[in-house]
Amino acid sequence: MIVVPVVGALLIGLMARYGSKANRSRIPARVTVLKPLSAAISIGTGGPFGAEGPIIATGGALGSLLGQIFSVTGVERKILLAAGAAAGMTAIFGSPVSAVLLAVELLLFEFSSRSTIPVALACATAAGLRLYFFSAEPIFAMPEVAVSNAPALLAFLVLGGVVGLAAAIVSRAVYWVEDQFERLPVHWMWWPAIGAVGVGAIGIVAPRTLGVGYDNIEDIVAEALPLSLIAWLCGMKLLSWLIALGSGTSGGTLAPLLTIGAGLGAVLAAGGNALGLEISLGVAALVGMSAMFAGASRALLASVVFAFETTLQPNALPALLAGATAAHLIARLVTRHSIMTERISRRGLVVPNSYLPDPLAHMQVGAVMSDDFQTLPASLSAEELAHRISAHDPEVSRRQACLLADPEGLLAGIVTRGDLLKCAPGATLLQAGSSDLVVAYPDESVAEVLARMFHHDIGRLPVVSRESALQAVGYLGRAEILVAQRAGADGTPESGWLEEMRRKRREKRP
């Protein structure tokens, strides 16, 4: 019971030491083999992880490898990685829709056609192929769930909040255990073997903690286990999982979280029933499972749909939504990072915690540009303009650049203050500036033009009409874009009726 997990952990330590790390969604070919293999060894030798870990890792690695074979952008390679990972999750749980949502909420942080179409097609393919290897039955089958009434929904809301708090504590506990392992005076390669001793010892007194434990989840939601055994199993599973994960052993985190959440939900419901409530322990376990998923990962929609797809109980959806939302809210209030992003944030990287539409993609240049711009004769000397700027001439000192016009008044170029510092003595503005113009059009989105500015490494450009590319109609610089960005993301509250009534009352007072 102890020797086998230790032997498996020694192999994992060797693989981790001589493997390679991924970089910007580039997973080296040997990691494509070593990472899922190490996770499979961990689970096969008793590690308290889910089989979804190595499968999701394999799918993600294959997607990344495909993105390295063909010429794709970094974003496209990330989408391929997410598609492979989501397909792996679908293959294990038979949950294609929640896998797509999980990819959006945890990997891509965008909801667009370019990301959802590849991921959705990958999950649909995995769901179809899964039928050839497994049955079409839900992985966590349970008795028919009745419709929850209002008091029950309120109870599930409270239950979800408690589980959300527990999810935050569990997330902190994982990294606390990891910090303790880092204090050991031995190389990190030996940490998994040390953790495996604890996993094996716990396995002696609680054999159900070893391995994937999907049957444990099904037995809990189906109310097939006595409450005392559920409490003992989940407590020991939590301890075993914390030790194994904190030691750096590879494996899936989803199955242990689901087990712990289901057990906690059942125990809390039993406590509520002792106080006079009438709550189904099976439904409470299902809500607890979804709430722990939502609280620990912050994937709210994925957790709700996942619980439905793995049980096929539509009547449980309102209870799942109430519990998971409460857990998501409480976990966000208590801790900043999820169990899946804490390690990344510790490396000094900024981790997105939500996905929002780009306001600049929905703004047209014509609505943002300034029509108050300076146009100077292209034949004017650079020295004269420099003198006017130093004299704080308001006509030319307001902006960093001036547009240049030929004798007919048509756009001829642009000159910046930086150009004036580098030009030769006696040069005209056209000679000092640039006649090879990068322009924008009023009907383009600001996001498109901003990308063009980045590509050409410029901070401002003229806006011209579609009818005549030589007719300047506006000026777009960094200041205009920043103002537009702030306006698009403005969260300033607007005055409501009550505030207006108070204001009018104050104005009437003598």
**C-alpha to C-alpha distance for 369 and 460, rounded to whole angstroms:** 11
Is residue 241 helix, strand or coil?
A: helix
Average pLDDT over residues 204-223: 90
Looking at residue 217, what is its pLDDT? 92
pLDDT tens string 48-96:
887 777 777 777 778 777 877 887 777 888 888 889 889 989 998 999 9
- Residue of 392, 388, 442 lying closest to 415 (CA atoms): 388
Average pLDDT over residues 295-311: 93
At residue 211 the predicted structure's pLDDT band, cuts being 50, 70 and 90, is: confident
pLDDT higher than threshold 90 for residue 154: yes
Looking at residue 165, what is its pLDDT? 95
Q: In what order do the strands lie in the sheet with 411-416?
A: 375-377, 401-405, 411-416
At residue 491 the predicted structure's pLDDT band, cuts being 50, 70 and 90, is: low
**C-alpha distance from residue 102 to each of 268, 293, 295, 300, 408 (Å):** 27, 11, 14, 9, 59
**C-alpha to C-alpha distance for 121 and 111, rounded to whole angstroms:** 15
pLDDT tens string 450-473:
989 998 888 888 999 888 778 888
Looking at residue 32, what is its pLDDT? 65
Scanning the structure block, which residue is given the tokens 């040069």? 427
Is 307 or 345 the better-scoring residue by pLDDT?
307
Looking at residue 361, what is its pLDDT? 80
Average pLDDT over residues 197-211: 90
Domains of the chain by start residue, with CATH: 3-133 (no CATH), 150-346 (1.10.3080.10), 360-488 (3.10.580.10)
Which of 19-33, 70-84, 129-143 tops mean pLDDT?
129-143
DSSP 190: G
**What's the mean pLDDT when you consider all of the chain?**
85
CB-based contacts of 108: which residues, under 8 Å, 6+ apart? Answer: 78, 79, 82, 115, 119, 355
CB-based contacts of 300: which residues, under 8 Å, 6+ apart? Answer: 105, 294, 324, 325, 328
Looking at residue 56, what is its pLDDT? 78
Looking at residue 191, what is its pLDDT? 86
**3-state helix/strand/coil string of 305-355:** HHHHHCCCCHHHHHHHHHHHHHHHHHHHHHCCCCCCCHHHHHCCCCCCCCC
Least confident range from 43-57, 166-180, 217-231: namely 43-57
Q: What token pair was written down for 373?
A: 């711009």
Average pLDDT over residues 214-241: 92
**C-alpha to C-alpha distance for 318 and 156, rounded to whole angstroms:** 9
**pTM strictly above 0.85:** no
Is 436 or 266 the better-scoring residue by pLDDT?
266
**C-alpha distance from residue 325 to each of 251, 277, 290, 295 (Å):** 27, 22, 10, 9
Is residue 371 helix, strand or coil?
A: coil
